[in-house]
Amino acid sequence: MKKIVLLMLAIASFAFAADAQVANETLKAYSVLAAGVGLGLAALGGAIGMGNTAAATIAGTARNPGLGGKLMTTMFIALAMIEAQVIYALVIAMIALYANPFLG
């Protein structure tokens, strides 16, 4: 882990030492990388959360079939909230890509 941090700091030092054009291009490249990694992590977390929600709903319905309707309604509300978090990550990634506040 220390090697990765040292490598990233070394790459960043080249970006700060270069002229403004190269620094802007490097910052754009890092923005694309950050957007991709951020969206990937958000989608992974959302998928895990949705899987856990569905599994819990199925287990609850199997234990008490009479509550199936209430559990499904609650599950869909929870799935919508989980998906909203992934959409928020998408919006932040789009801001980082197209309206990057760091590119002065």
Number of domains in the chain: 1
85 assigned to some structural domain: yes
pLDDT, mean of residues 43-69 = 94
Q: Residue 15 falls within a domain, yes or no?
A: no
Q: What is the pLDDT of residues 11-39, one digit of tens each?
A: 776 666 656 666 677 778 888 888 889 89
> Is position 67 within any domain?
yes
Query: Is-contact 26 15, C-beta < 8 A?
Result: yes
Residue 7 has pLDDT above 80, yes or no: no
Say what the pLDDT of residue 23 is.
66
Crossing angle of helices 20-63 and 2-17, in 10° steps, is 140
CB atoms closer than 10 angstroms to residue 69: 10
In whole angstroms, what is the distance from residue 99 CA to residue 29 CA?
14
> Mind listing the pLDDT tens digit for each residue in 64-99?
999 999 999 999 999 999 999 999 999 988 888 888
Residue 18 phi, psi (nearest 5): -80, 175
**Domain span holding position 96:** 31-103
Please state the length of the chain: 104
Q: What is the CATH number of the domain that holds 74?
A: 1.20.20.10
- What's the chain's average pLDDT? 85
Cα 9 off chain centre by: 23
